[in-house]
């Protein structure tokens, strides 16, 4: 397993993430995946410029919404890495399920290939995306319907991005959520990254905390 789960990379720079991408091969070919065509097409040129600035010239747009290319998405092994962008995680989840991309991503990860996720993209790789629903719904409603919002389960916990942007009342809601669900929650600040290697261990570059059974604790630094 070779995963980098981030809050907002590359919007906030992270040298450890860049180093891991560049370590894949001298000129990595990276599949860039966004949740929807409308946001993806608009954001891709800026993404190309940012990735090019740290040495990734071969960034390829992969549509999973209105304009999917079956041959492109069924041959993920042509890529050296996959990047799942930020965006609405519920829309992202629906797009992945609609075109059947989940199994390809699981196989890519199982083979030890690099997957980088940011915010809503990172959430797809976890056990569930219900944390996003806590922003707009009651705790009871989110927990009751949690079984309907499973992720790809490449890792067994849930991730909360943008830790530094949430107020104390919302984080208390997250803590209470962690008391009621079987998975732990790992909350990550912008600029931070969770590094998951072949052993499955999770270490962090930057600031992150765990919520497990209603108790907050640290994440081991990388």
Integer Cα distance of 213 and 155 in angstroms: 18
Q: What is the pLDDT of residue 73?
A: 80
Integer Cα distance of 36 and 159 in angstroms: 21
Domains contained in the chain, CATH given: 2-218 (3.40.50.880)
69 pLDDT above the threshold of 70: yes
Report yes or no: 143 and 177 within 8 Å, Cβ to Cβ: yes
Integer Cα distance of 2 and 20 in angstroms: 9
Integer Cα distance of 31 and 58 in angstroms: 9
| For residues 58-64, average pLDDT | 95
Chain position carrying tokens 């209603």: 214
| For residues 191-211, average pLDDT | 89
Neighbours of 37 (CB within 10 A): 16
Nearest to 109 by CA among 84, 129, 140: 84
Quick one: angle between helices 89-99 and 102-110, nearest 10?
90
- Sheet strand arrangement including 114-118: 58-62, 29-33, 81-84, 114-118, 2-6, 193-196, 202-205
pLDDT level of residue 220 (50, 70, 90 thresholds):
confident
Q: Is the peptide bond before 10 cis (omega within 30 degrees of 0)?
A: yes
pLDDT > 90 in the chain, percent = 90
193 pLDDT above the threshold of 70: yes
**How far does Cα 47 stand from its chain's mean position?**
16
pLDDT level of residue 200 (50, 70, 90 thresholds):
low
What b/e readout covers 157-192, taking b as 16+ CB neighbours within 10 angstroms?
A: bbbbbebeebeeeebebbbebbeebebbbbbbbbbb
| For residues 143-163, average pLDDT | 97
Q: What is the pLDDT of residue 67?
A: 86
Chain position carrying tokens 């389960």: 153
For the entire predicted model, the pTM comes to: 0.96
């Amino acid at each position: 397993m070779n995963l980098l789960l981030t809050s907002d990379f590359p919007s906030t720079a992270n040298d450890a993430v860049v180093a891991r991408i560049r370590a894949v091969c001298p000129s990595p070919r990276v599949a860039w995946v966004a949740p929807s065509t409308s946001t993806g097409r608009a954001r891709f040129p800026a993404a190309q410029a940012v990735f090019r600035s740290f040495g990734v010239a071969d960034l390829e747009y992969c549509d999973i919404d209105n304009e999917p290319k079956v041959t492109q998405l069924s041959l993920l092994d042509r890529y050296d890495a996959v990047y799942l962008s930020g965006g609405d995680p519920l829309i992202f989840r629906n797009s992945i399920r609609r075109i059947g991309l989940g199994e390809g991503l699981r196989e890519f990860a199982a083979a030890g290939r690099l997957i980088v996720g940011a915010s809503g993209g990172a959430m797809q790789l976890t056990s569930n995306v219900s944390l996003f629903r806590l922003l707009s719904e009651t705790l009871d409603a989110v927990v009751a319907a949690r079984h309907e919002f499973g992720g790809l389960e490449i890792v067994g916990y849930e991730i909360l991005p943008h830790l530094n942007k949430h107020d104390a009342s919302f984080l208390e809601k997250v803590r209470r959520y962690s008391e009621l669900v079987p998975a732990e929650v790992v909350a990550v600040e912008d600029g931070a990254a969770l590094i998951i290697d072949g052993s499955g261990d999770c270490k962090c570059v930057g600031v992150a905390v765990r919520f497990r059974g209603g108790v907050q604790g640290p994440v081991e630094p990388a």
